[in-house]
C-alpha cells in the first residue's frame, strides 16, 4: 500500500511537470481527486490495511491529498501568470506620444443631436428625464387614450416580451404618464409648470429600408401649466429648431391625428436646402415633415392626475414627439437610416465632435 502511494506520488509529480494549460491541469486534478480518482481508490483500499498500519497509511494518503491541492493551486497561478506574460509580449506596442484624439473615438451622431437638444431645452427651463425601454401596455397605449383594439395601435406594432403585459416602447410618449405623476404635485402646490423632455430608444415592427428601422430614437417634450396654448407650442418648436439648424426656420402646422393630443398637428419646416422652392430633398413640396405635436388630450391629463373629473380643463399643455434619428439624418445629410445602426466606423466616425 505504501509503495502504491509513493508510486502514485511520483506519477503525479511527473505528470504535473508537463502540464502547461489550465484545461489539462484540471484533467489531472480530476484524475486524482474526483470520485472515481486515485485518491478515492486509495481510501477504499485503506479498509483492507491491517489495523496497526491504518493510522500511518491514512496519514500518508492525507498528506498526498494536500500535496495535490497545494501544487494544483501553485501551478494554476503559474500558468495564468505565464499566459499574461505571453499576451503582454505579443501585444502591439503603442506610441505614448501619439495625440489621444486619434485613439478615443467619437460620439454617435444621434448622441450628438440628443445632447444638443438637451442643452437647448435645459436653457429654456426643461428637465431632462430618462425612461425605460420595456414598458407595459397601460403606459404605452391606454394612459395615452389608446384603448385596446383602437386602430391607432396598428401604426405602432412593436415587440412583445414573453412576460405578460411587457413590450418595447413604440414611442417616447409612453413616458408622459410617469412624468405627469412625478411633477404633478410640484405643479399644483408650488405652481411650477411641468416642462420636461425625454429622449429614448423606440421600437417598431417595421420592414427595414432606407427610411425605416425597427429601432430608432425620439425625443418627447411636454409642457403643462394653466393657460398653455398652441402659441406656446409654436414658439418653443421654432426657437428650438432655429438653434438646431443654426438659422431661422419657418414652420407650419397641418392637422394630424394622434389619440393623445387634441388638436393634433404635423409640424413641418420649410426646406432648408431649397428655401421652399422645391427640390428632391423635400419631394418638390418645399416643406419637410419633422415633428408631430399637439395639445395634450384631456383624458391623458386626467390619467396623469393633472386635472380632475370635476375640473377637466384647469391645466392645459402641449406635447411633441421629435424624431431624433430623423433630425440627425437631416442635420448630417445622411440618406440611409441604416447607417446609424450598422456600426460601420468609417461612416460613424465622420461626425466627430466632442
Ligand atoms: N408619439 C407619436 C408617434 O411616435 C408622436 C407624437 C408625440 C404626436 C407627441 C403628438 C404628440 O407617432
In this structure, are 188 and 227 located in the same domain?
A: yes
- Ligand 1 atom at minimal distance to the Cα of residue 155: 12
- pLDDT one-digit tens code per residue, 138-175: 999 999 999 999 999 999 999 999 999 999 999 999 99
**Pairwise CA distance, residues 306 & 312, whole Å:** 9
316-342 per-residue burial string, b: 16 or more CB within 10 A, e: under 16: bbbbbbbbbbbbbbbbeebeebebbee
- Total domain count, the chain: 2
Whether residue 347 is contained in a domain is answered as yes
Residue 158 CB–ligand 1 contact under 6 Å: no
Mutate to test the pocket of ligand 1, among 155, 213, 258 (most ligand atoms within 8 A of CB): 258
Residue 216 CB–ligand 1 contact under 6 Å: no
The position carrying cell 383594439 is: 149
Between residues 95 and 325, the one the model is more confident about: 325
- pLDDT one-digit tens code per residue, 270-280: 988 888 999 88
In this structure, are 327 and 183 located in the same domain?
A: yes
In this structure, are 76 and 129 located in the same domain?
A: no
- pLDDT one-digit tens code per residue, 268-306: 999 888 889 998 878 899 998 889 999 999 999 999 999
In this structure, are 173 and 237 located in the same domain?
A: yes
Nearest CA to ligand 1 atom 2: 321
In this structure, are 194 and 334 located in the same domain?
A: yes
Nearest to 218 by CA among 173, 153, 183: 173
Which pLDDT does position 218 carry in this prediction? 97
Whether residue 104 is contained in a domain is answered as no
- pLDDT one-digit tens code per residue, 112-144: 999 999 999 999 999 999 999 999 999 999 999
Find the farthest-apart pair of alpha carbons in the chain and give their distance in angstroms, rounded.
Answer: 109
Residue 294 CB–ligand 1 contact under 6 Å: yes
In this structure, are 278 and 330 located in the same domain?
A: yes
pTM for the predicted model, two decimal places: 0.70
Which pLDDT does position 101 carry in this prediction? 60
Whether residue 102 is contained in a domain is answered as no
Which pLDDT does position 352 carry in this prediction? 66
Q: DSSP string of 300-340?
A: HHHHTTSS-SSSTTSSEEEEEEEEHHHHHHHHTT-S-GGGG
The two beta strands, 194-203 and 127-128, are parallel
Q: Which CATH number belongs to the domain containing residue 133 in this structure?
A: 3.30.930.10
Residue 320 CB–ligand 1 contact under 6 Å: yes
In this structure, are 282 and 133 located in the same domain?
A: yes
Whether residue 338 is contained in a domain is answered as yes
Residue 173 CB–ligand 1 contact under 6 Å: yes
For residues 171 and 321, the answer to whether their CB atoms sit within 8 Å is yes
Which pLDDT does position 322 carry in this prediction? 94
Nearest to 71 by CA among 129, 2, 15: 15
Q: In angstroms, how far is the first alpha carbon of the chain from the final one?
A: 74
In this structure, are 199 and 341 located in the same domain?
A: yes
pLDDT (average), residues 302-327: 95
Which pLDDT does position 354 carry in this prediction? 44
For residues 29 and 68, the answer to whether their CB atoms sit within 8 Å is yes
In this structure, are 85 and 135 located in the same domain?
A: no
In this structure, are 121 and 81 located in the same domain?
A: no
CA angle 106, 108, 113 (to 5 degrees): 115
**Pairwise CA distance, residues 34 & 24, whole Å:** 14
For residues 145 and 299, the answer to whether their CB atoms sit within 8 Å is yes
Alpha carbon separation from 124 to 75, 164, 237, 328 (Å, rounded): 64, 40, 11, 21
Does residue 88 have a pLDDT over 90?
no
Nearest CA to ligand 1 atom 10: 293
Whether residue 103 is contained in a domain is answered as no
Q: How many CB atoms lie within 10 A of CB 197?
A: 25
Pick from 45-59, 281-295, 338-352: least confident: 338-352
Query: 132: part of which helix (H) or strand (E)?
Result: none
Which pLDDT does position 174 carry in this prediction? 98
Does residue 353 have a pLDDT over 70?
no
For residues 249 and 238, the answer to whether their CB atoms sit within 8 Å is yes
Residue 199 CB–ligand 1 contact under 6 Å: no
Query: What is the extent of the structural domain holding 213?
Result: 109-351
SS3 55: helix
* Cα 258 to averaged position of ligand 1 atoms, centre (Å): 7
In this structure, are 174 and 25 located in the same domain?
A: no
Between residues 99 and 131, the one the model is more confident about: 131
Residue 170 CB–ligand 1 contact under 6 Å: no
Portion of the chain with pLDDT greater than 90, in percent: 66
Residue 321 CB–ligand 1 contact under 6 Å: yes
Whether residue 100 is contained in a domain is answered as no
pLDDT (average), residues 306-318: 95
Whether residue 101 is contained in a domain is answered as no
- Ligand 1 atom at minimal distance to the Cα of residue 320: 9
For residues 266 and 258, the answer to whether their CB atoms sit within 8 Å is no
**Pairwise CA distance, residues 100 & 238, whole Å:** 39
Nearest CA to ligand 1 atom 3: 171
Give the domain-ending residue among 55, 90, 125.
Answer: 90
Which pLDDT does position 85 carry in this prediction? 84
In this structure, are 57 and 168 located in the same domain?
A: no
DSSP letter (8 states) at residue 271: -
For residues 245 and 288, the answer to whether their CB atoms sit within 8 Å is no
Give the domain-ending residue among 59, 90, 121.
Answer: 90
Portion of the chain with pLDDT greater than 70, in percent: 96
For residues 161 and 177, the answer to whether their CB atoms sit within 8 Å is no
- pLDDT one-digit tens code per residue, 22-51: 889 999 999 999 999 999 999 999 888 888
Whether residue 95 is contained in a domain is answered as no
Between residues 201 and 2, the one the model is more confident about: 201
Nearest CA to ligand 1 atom 7: 321
Amino acid at each position: 500500500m505504501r509503495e502504491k502511494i509513493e508510486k502514485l506520488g511520483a506519477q503525479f509529480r511527473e505528470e504535473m511537470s508537463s502540464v502547461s494549460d489550465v484545461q489539462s491541469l484540471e484533467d489531472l486534478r480530476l484524475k486524482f481527486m474526483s470520485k472515481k480518482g486515485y485518491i478515492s481508490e486509495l481510501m477504499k483500499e485503506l479498509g483492507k490495511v491491517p489495523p496497526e498500519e491504518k493510522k500511518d497509511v491514512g496519514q500518508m494518503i492525507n498528506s498526498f491529498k494536500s500535496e495535490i491541492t497545494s501544487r494544483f493551486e501553485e501551478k494554476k497561478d503559474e500558468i495564468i501568470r505565464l499566459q499574461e506574460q505571453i499576451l503582454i509580449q505579443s501585444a502591439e506596442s503603442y506610441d505614448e506620444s501619439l495625440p489621444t484624439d486619434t485613439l478615443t473615438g467619437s460620439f454617435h451622431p444621434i448622441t450628438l443631436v440628443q445632447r444638443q437638444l438637451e442643452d437647448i431645452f435645459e436653457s429654456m427651463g426643461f428637465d431632462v428625464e430618462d425612461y425605460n425601454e420595456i414598458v407595459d401596455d397601460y403606459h404605452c397605449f391606454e394612459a395615452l387614450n389608446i384603448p385596446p383594439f383602437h386602430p391607432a395601435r396598428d401604426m405602432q406594432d412593436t415587440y412583445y416580451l414573453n412576460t405578460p403585459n411587457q413590450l418595447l416602447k413604440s414611442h417616447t410618449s409612453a413616458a408622459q404618464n410617469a412624468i405627469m405623476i412625478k411633477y404633478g404635485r410640484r405643479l399644483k402646490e408650488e405652481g411650477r409648470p411641468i416642462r420636461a423632455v425625454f429622449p429614448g430608444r423606440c421600437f417598431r415592427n417595421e420592414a427595414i429600408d432606407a427610411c425605416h428601422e425597427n429601432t430608432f430614437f425620439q425625443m418627447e417634450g411636454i409642457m403643462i401649466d394653466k393657460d398653455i396654448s398652441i402659441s406656446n407650442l409654436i414658439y418653443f418648436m421654432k426657437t428650438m429648431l432655429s438653434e438646431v439648424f443654426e438659422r431661422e426656420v419657418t414652420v407650419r402646422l397641418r392637422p394630424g391625428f394622434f389619440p393623445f393630443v387634441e388638436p393634433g398637428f404635423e409640424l413641418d419646416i420649410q426646406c432648408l436646402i431649397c428655401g421652399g422652392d422645391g427640390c428632391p430633398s423635400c419631394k418638390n413640396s418645399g416643406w419637410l415633415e419633422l415633428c408631430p405635436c399637439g395639445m395634450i388630450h384631456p383624458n391623458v391629463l386626467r390619467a396623469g392626475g393633472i386635472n380632475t373629473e370635476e375640473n377637466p380643463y384647469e391645466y392645459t399643455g402641449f406635447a411633441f414627439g421629435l424624431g431624433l434619428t430623423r433630425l440627425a439624418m437631416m442635420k448630417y445629410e445622411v440618406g440611409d437610416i441604416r447607417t446609424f445602426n450598422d456600426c460601420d466606423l468609417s461612416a460613424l466616425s465622420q461626425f466627430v465632435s466632442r
